[in-house]
């Protein structure tokens, strides 16, 4: 396989980069030459393991614990990035959480929890990243899911937060374009990660996704990571405020609810 080195000399922050899709995004950016900071919330062990992998690729890598929902923690996170990297080229807003219940069974605290991590967090992070991206043609890449546009069972809290994230992408995309910063979003199909353990019918969901994916296989974390790398590269310069769907065509023919 040809090694692509289009991100040599770049610096990146991947929120929720310790495990799952975020981990694979961090590794893909590092394989292409970027130094990478990963952020996590509560679990130090996977973060340390991912840092080891990034360092084995020869990159400068740091892990920073911070809840992206909390403004003070986000300020500290970006202060640390500034001190370690002296600036930031790529921000990937990947961290997410949620409460798996039908919309009418959600409590206000469930709503606030999910919206604050999945929507307010990316907004806070993008706001804090702007000064670090000045003069660097920065990239902000948000990670959404098909539930932003379609209805999945017990997914209301996350789906609504992701719909708002896609709207945030459009607003930030337009606001920041004249400053050389490109803001875009990737909406991914179902990927087997720890997040699916919260769904009782995870295996059935995977079977249905495979059946309904015209491309004939499940989406992998690396499928998403490679599109992140594209959006982080100079090749995507004229893409502004868009959500790119990476689902093997599943959303076009989806039959599940």
- Return residues touching ligand NAP (CB under 6 A): 15-16, 18-22, 39-43, 67-69, 94-97, 117, 143, 145, 188, 190-191, 193-195
d(C-alpha 177, C-alpha 139), whole Å = 10
Residue located via tokens 């900071």: 37
Asked whether the beta carbons of 231 and 244 are under 8 A apart, the reply is yes
Nearer to ligand NAP, 181 or 225 (CB): 225
Burial of 222 (0-12, 13-18, 19+ CB in 10 A): middle
Nearer to ligand NAP, 141 or 195 (CB): 195
d(C-alpha 74, C-alpha 102), whole Å = 30
Q: How open is the CA angle 51-129-96, to the nearest 5 degrees?
A: 60
**Residue with smallest beta-carbon separation from ligand NAP:** 20
34: helix, strand or coil: coil
Q: Which of 197, 192, 187, 110 is nearest to 150 (CA)?
A: 187
Report in angstroms how near the CB of residue 135 gets to ligand NAP at its nearest. Answer: 28
d(C-alpha 116, C-alpha 103), whole Å = 17
Nearer to ligand NAP, 18 or 236 (CB): 18
What's 39's DSSP letter?
E
Nearer to ligand NAP, 44 or 137 (CB): 44
Q: Which of 95, 34, 90 is nearest to 64 (CA)?
A: 95
Nearer to ligand NAP, 69 or 183 (CB): 69
144: helix, strand or coil: strand
Report in angstroms how near the CB of residue 34 gets to ligand NAP at its nearest. Answer: 18
Residues that are catalytic: 155, 162
């Amino acid at each position: 396989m040809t090694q692509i080195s289009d991100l040599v000399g770049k610096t990146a922050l991947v929120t929720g980069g310790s495990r799952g899709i975020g981990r694979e995004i961090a590794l893909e950016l590092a394989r292409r030459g970027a130094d990478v900071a990963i952020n996590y919330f509560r679990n130090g062990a996977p973060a340390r393991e991912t840092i080891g992998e990034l360092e084995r690729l020869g990159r400068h890598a740091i892990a920073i614990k911070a809840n992206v929902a909390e403004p003070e923690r986000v300020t500290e996170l970006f202060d640390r990035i500034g001190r370690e990297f002296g600036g930031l080229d790529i921000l990937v807003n990947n961290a997410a959480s949620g409460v798996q219940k039908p919309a009418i069974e959600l409590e206000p605290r469930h709503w606030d929890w999910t919206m604050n991590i999945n929507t307010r967090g990316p907004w806070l992070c993008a706001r804090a990243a702007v000064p670090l991206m000045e003069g660097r043609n920065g990239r902000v890449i948000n990670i959404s899911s098909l539930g932003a546009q379609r209805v999945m069972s017990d997914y209301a809290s996350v789906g609504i937060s992701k719909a708002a994230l896609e709207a945030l992408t459009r607003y930030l995309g337009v606001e920041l374009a004249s400053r050389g910063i490109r803001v875009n979003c990737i909406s991914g199909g179902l990927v087997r990660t720890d997040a699916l353990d919260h769904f009782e019918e995870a295996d059935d969901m995977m079977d249905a996704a495979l059946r309904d994916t015209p491309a004939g296989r499940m989406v992998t974390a690396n499928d998403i990571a490679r599109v992140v790398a594209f959006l982080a590269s100079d090749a995507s310069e004229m893409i502004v405020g868009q959500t790119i769907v990476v689902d093997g065509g599943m959303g076009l023919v989806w039959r599940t609810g």
